[in-house]
Structure formats: C-alpha cells, structure tokens
Amino acid sequence: MNTRAQQETANEKNYRCQITRTAEVIKVDGLLNEASWQQSQLISNFKQSFPFDTSAALSKTEVRILHDDKFLYVSAVCYEPKHYTVQTLRRDFADGSTDLFLVTIDPFRDNLNAFYFSVSPYGVQKEALISNGNVLNIDWDNKWLSAAKIYDNRYEVEIAIPFKTLRYKISEGMNQWNINFVRNDLNRNERSSWAPIPRGFRMIDQSYSGTLEWKETPPKAGTNISFIPYVIGETNKDRLAGSGKSLINTGFDAKVAVTPALNLDLTVNPDFSQVEVDRQIANLSRFELFFPERRQFFIENSDLFNSFGSDNTNPFFSRRIGITRNSKTGLAEKVPILGGARLSGRINKDWRIGFLNMQTAYVKSDSTPSANFTVATLQRRIFTRSNIALMWANKENIINEKTRAVHRYNRVLGLDLNMASVNGFWQNKFYHHQSFQHNQPKGAYSSGALLKYAQPLLNFESNWYAVGKGYNAEMGFVPRTGFLRNAAYINKVIFPKNGLSRIINSWSFGFDYDVIYSLFDNRVTDWDANLLFGIRFQNSAQLSARPFRREYTYLFSDFDPTNKNEPGYKVLLKGSSYYYNTTRITYNSNFRKPFFYNIQSRFGQYFNGTLQSLQADVNYRFQPWALVQLSAAYNRIRLPEGYNNADFWIVGPRADITFSKSIFWTTFIQYNNQINNININTRFQWRFKPMSDLFIVYTNNMFAETVGADNRFQQKNHALVVKLNYWFNL
C-alpha cells in the first residue's frame, strides 16, 4: 500500500472522493429523490479540458456516489438549458458528437485499464472497456441500469452498476479505486471533468483519474454466470456456386466469473449474422487492407491478445478466425466456428492472463481446412503504467487429401515491453517475435521499437521495424515480410491567445517520413515524406492537409496501378522505380449541426500517371430519431497510352433509424465497381430485454457492372436471417 501511495499521480493525490454506503432502496428512474443522495459527498467544481484547460467549467455539474451490497450508484445533475445534441437513441452512440455524462472506473489503479459508462440526456447508454490508458473498445456489452430526466435548466442522470459487471479484487489495501467523471456539453462546445485532463488528451485518459475511497472493503460481487442461447433461421442462395439452403440452427455463449477479476467465456456453434458488414474501400495498394473486428466474443480484454507488435506486424488478428475473403467476389465470408473458450482477466493488480482456443470447420467449397487456434498471453505490470507481456500463438490445420499443401502448423512466440510515463507524455515499446512451422525457413522473426512523446504543445514519434523474409504469422495481420522500416513524425501545436482564439482553437504544423528497405532486393523500395498542417476551429470543425507529399516506389514484382490486371494492357515492370508528388486535404465540418459533412481529396502524380481522389460523407440528423448518410469515394487513375485507366466508385447511402431506445433499423447500400459488387444490408433489431435481442437481417450481393453476358444487377448471393438470443443471469 505504501509503495502504491508513493507512486500516486498528482490527480490521485489531489482529487479524492468518498463513496457512501446506503441501506435505502435506490430506484433508478432519473428522479434523485432518495434521501441517501443528499447525505452523500457532493462532487463538483469541474475543470475545463476543451476549448481551454486553465479555468473552471462554465457548465455546472454535480455528482454523488453511493453503494449497497449489489450496486455502485452514480448520480449527476448537469445544468444548462435543454439545447442538447443527441445523435441517436441507439446504444453505444458516438460520444464525441453527443451531450453526455460519463464515469470511468479503474478498480486496480493501474492507470491503463478501466470501465466506461456514459448516459445521454435522453437516457441512452454506452458502456466500453478502456485499455492502454486511452484506447476505447465500445463493442463490450454488459448489463447495468440508468435513467435520465430533462428539466428546463438541467438534465439529471442516475446510474446503477452491478458489482458483478465490474472486475476487481477484494483484498487488504484495495480500498481505493481510480475514478473520474466527465461532462460533454456540445451547446457550449465544452468538455470538462472532475479530475482535470490537459487539453489535447482524450477525456478517458487514465493518467488523470482521481481516487475513490471506500470506508470499508468493497462488497463481494457474488456469483456471476451468464448463459446466452440463440436460435436462428436462415435461408440463402449462392447463384455463382449454384447452391442454396434453408436451415434452423442454435448455439450459445456463456460467461463465468471464475473470480471477480477473471472471466471465462464459452461459445458453442457461435453465429455472428447480426454483425454489421464491413465498409468497403478502394484498394490502390499492393497489399492487404485492414478491417476491424466487430464480433462480440473477441472483444472483452482484447488488448491482452491484439496489442502485440505494431499495426502492420500484429501476430494475432482475431478476424483470421472464422472469416475468409472470397477470391472471386472480394467479400468477407464466414468459416463455421464449432466452438471455443477464452479465459481472460487479472490474477492480481500486477498480473493479467489471457487464453483463447477456437475450433473451425472444414469448408468444402474452397478446401479451407478445419483448424484449431490457440493464443496464450501473460502480462506483468512494472512501474506505474508499464508492462512486459509474453504471447504464444498456435494454429493447427487438420490436413486431408485436398488440403495437403497447407502447413500443418504455424506458431509464433513473442515478447513485448511496453513503457509509459506516469503523466502519459512518454511511451516506449520494444518487441521480438519468432514464427515456427514445418521446414522452418531462415529469418522467421519480427522485431521493433517505438518511441513516442505526446503533450499538448508537441508530438513526436519514431519507430523501427524489422521483419524477416521467413516470418509467417498465419493468425496475424502482417501484409508484408522481408523488410526494415523506419518512420518518424513531429508536430508542433499552437494555441492562439489573440483575437484568433475566438475562431481557432489550435493550429499545427509538422513533418513525417517513412522508409522501407527490402531484405529481398537489398535496397530501399519505398519512402515518402510529408509536410503537415492542421487547424482546429472553436466550433469543432477541422482542416488538415499534407500540402506536399513526395513518394518513391521501387517495384519488386510486376504491378498494374489500377489493380484491374486485365489482359491486353501494359503493366509496370519489376525493377522499375517511380517518384511522384501529391497533395492531400481533409475538412470535417461542425458535427454539432444537424447537417454535417467530411471531405477528403488527393491529387497529383501516381507511378507513371496521375491520380485524383475525392471522398465525401454527407450527413443529416433528424434528432434523435434518424441519421441519414450518403458516402461516396471516387478515384480517377490516368496512365500513358497502352496502360489501363480506371474510374473507381464506391457509393454508400445509409439510413440509421431509432424508433425508440429498444427498436432500431439500419439499411446500408454499397456500390463498388472495383470488385464489381452492389451490397444491400438491412438489419432490424428489437432489444426486448436488457442484452436480449431479436434480429432480422437481409443481405444481397449483385453485379455492379456487365462482364461478358448482360449480367448487370444480376444476383450473386442473398440471405435472410432471423436470430433470437436471450441473456440469462444464473
């Protein structure tokens, strides 16, 4: 206890609040009329974080906190007339563009991992997990209660968080948690918090939490077992394969709290039909694109598994399990998962563990083998905000006559050291990974180092990567091997203090570069250098630009810059090299308005030709019932005579309608002529009980362009799914 006290941050020392035990029954209705609320400590005097961080908040906020044996209660009175901006009635709204009150709770006081709970003035909930100090994962779902009431000069929020929803240790010396309370007031365009957070830092940053003091040991969480069965009816038809079927299926998920801080997740025959389809983007590169994980089972404590390495040398990428990309259509397709288990959480305040095992089925259509995926991680906290982590990833393919060409196994052993200063200004990372497989090649390694400095006035980052020619992480995201890479970034931020400060919150300028040296060709194959400029306006609009970008590419294989690879056209030959200049500009309008938009443009040279790109998202909000969006991206590639040209369009109208806080309907259409596809995805959701849903999902893929015979708009495949799941607390 004394050691931890000596390591306390300034906010942990100076911002302390006490939680009061209550014997009164608290009814979560948004009416703060129980006597216990007035008998608890008043927490107020919030400090601004944006647009300035040197004064008290203009919007007054009053917070109180209670507990009984089952719940932790938080109330907030948020003063200001009712000009509230609320994007939607759907759970897990975008917090930066919505008025809200939020609380973050870090029971272990590690300044890295925390729970996030927020409520809008309309009573809409959002819960999330915070990892690495300031990374928010909104795909975590759990049960908790809240209500809100709007009055003429304020709105009031009442929250009840079951102790079984939290992860914490009950032991001597654990009577202090970290906590912070945050208010987002979009009418004033002000963000404020109880424990102050410097301007330029995220409002969830755990380096700046205060202290929650318990007068007694926190209550035991009690038995925490959840059983979530589902039943699904599906009919689908694949016209390209000439197949179709109708089926009824069932399966279940289960969550078991082995200890209050260690959770076991089980799944049998999981189904992710309700997960929203990927947003398509044009691929103008020579490498695989990254798409984020959206499946709930892989989300909780996901930082234990997916934070190893760097963005493009990640040894574990959960989308390798149960998802493959169809080489004919370019679309993601399901690989059946038979079942799996995940154990994750804390042993104590210094040790975290993770274990994941999943089994997939054999896919006859493309001879994808049945495979077993195992990942084990162990993380040890060192100092205040640092850790050392070990990972073992193992993929075992079950080989048959049609899959003999596949490696029988692929394994990666990795060690990462993550360092961070107490105030969050400095971050360092060092890692080394080694892959193993049958007929082990040479150079099966991936190593890297990162140095990062970030504070309100100056940002700097430099990283070094080395990936051997023989490195193979089949469970990871490593689009390129056999290279050395160095990249650096520096950006200076200026906050004007003269008359400009009424219009401009900050402006910045900087420089970055990226250099890649190929171990296959023993030469530099890629580099780019950029001038950077940005303006952040007081009304929340932003302008950023790379006014001058110089690029160099050496081709280590033949390449068609249009990525069409159609016969009869020239391609750029292996061994050729190209210099080109481009300009990029991005503008994001004031998202507090009902009508808002984002525009990105790129124009200039492209290999031996030119490229003009324009992307726009135009939105209109019918607050709070609907958000209508039209997204469009156009890429125009022009090359010399004899080479192919391209006009790539991706157009995606979307309507997100929230009839109430429990009934939602989303329709998303994507036209993509690069992969010759039109996708229609419409999803109806009825949350008839907390965490229990009825989904009706229809998906249709069809040809966007004529190929050979007149097949424009001809269907490729379609499916109708009805899914019902129910969350039982046992």
H/E stretch holding 14: helix 10-14
The CATH number of whichever domain residue 96 belongs to comes to: 2.60.40.1190
pLDDT of residue 3: 45
pLDDT of residue 245: 86
pLDDT of residue 606: 95
Tell me the pLDDT band of 2, cut-offs 50, 70 and 90: very low
pLDDT at 284 over 90: no
The mean pLDDT value of the chain amounts to: 90
Structural domain including 205 reads 2-214
User: Where does residue 540 rank: exposed (0-12), middle (13-18), buried (19+ CB within 10 A)?
Assistant: buried
Q: Examine residue 385 and state whether it is found in any structural domain, yes or no.
A: no
C-alpha torsion sign, points 194, 195, 200, 202 = negative
Q: Tell which phi-psi region holds residue 540, choosing left (phi > 0), alpha (psi between -120 and 50) or beta.
A: left
User: In terms of Cα–Cα distance, which of 666, 626, 634, 669 is closest to 650?
Assistant: 634
Query: Could you tell me what percent of the chain has a pLDDT over 90?
Result: 66
Q: Examine residue 387 and state whether it is found in any structural domain, yes or no.
A: no
pLDDT of residue 434: 98
Q: Examine residue 712 and state whether it is found in any structural domain, yes or no.
A: no
Distance CA 118, CA 148 (A): 11
* 263 SS3 class: strand
Q: Examine residue 538 and state whether it is found in any structural domain, yes or no.
A: no
Q: Examine residue 148 and state whether it is found in any structural domain, yes or no.
A: yes
pLDDT digits (tens, 9 = 90+) for 330-375: 556 778 899 999 999 888 888 999 999 999 988 776 667 889 999 9
| CA-to-CA dists, residue 348 to 206, 381, 504, angstroms | 19, 10, 46
Taking residues 575-584, report their average pLDDT: 96
pLDDT of residue 6: 46
| CA-to-CA dists, residue 611 to 266, 553, 634, 637, 647, angstroms | 49, 15, 10, 5, 10
Tell me the pLDDT band of 1, cut-offs 50, 70 and 90: very low
Distance CA 361, CA 243 (A): 19
pLDDT of residue 5: 46
pLDDT of residue 404: 56
pLDDT digits (tens, 9 = 90+) for 116-170: 999 999 999 999 999 888 988 887 888 999 999 999 999 999 999 999 889 887 7
Taking residues 393-414, report their average pLDDT: 83
Q: Examine residue 118 and state whether it is found in any structural domain, yes or no.
A: yes
**Least confident span in 208-212, 499-503, 649-653:** 499-503
Taking residues 699-721, report their average pLDDT: 78
Taking residues 723-727, report their average pLDDT: 94
Buried b (16+ CB within 10 A) or exposed e, 548-575: ebbbbbbbbeebbbbbeeeeeeebbeee
- Residue 39: phi, psi to the nearest 5? -90, -5
- Residue 545: phi, psi to the nearest 5? -150, 150
pLDDT digits (tens, 9 = 90+) for 532-575: 999 999 999 999 999 999 999 999 899 999 988 889 999 999 99
What pTM was computed for the model? 0.86
pLDDT at 275 over 80: no
Whether 550 and 579 have beta carbons less than 8 Å apart is answered as yes
Distance CA 575, CA 567 (A): 21
pLDDT digits (tens, 9 = 90+) for 290-340: 666 767 777 767 888 988 999 889 999 888 888 776 655 555 677 889 999
pLDDT digits (tens, 9 = 90+) for 602-628: 999 999 999 999 999 999 999 889 999
pLDDT digits (tens, 9 = 90+) for 160-207: 999 988 988 777 557 899 999 999 999 999 999 999 999 889 999 999
Query: Could you tell me what percent of the chain has a pLDDT over 70?
Result: 93
Distance CA 411, CA 434 (A): 8
pLDDT at 637 over 70: yes
Number of domains present in the structure of the chain: 1
Which residue type is seen at 448? G
pLDDT of residue 473: 94
Q: Examine residue 236 and state whether it is found in any structural domain, yes or no.
A: no
pLDDT of residue 463: 96
pLDDT of residue 365: 63
DSSP strands (E only) in 438-521:
445-455, 458-467, 483-494, 504-518
Q: Examine residue 163 and state whether it is found in any structural domain, yes or no.
A: yes
**Least confident span in 1-5, 238-242, 359-363, 542-546:** 1-5
Tell me the pLDDT band of 386, cut-offs 50, 70 and 90: very high
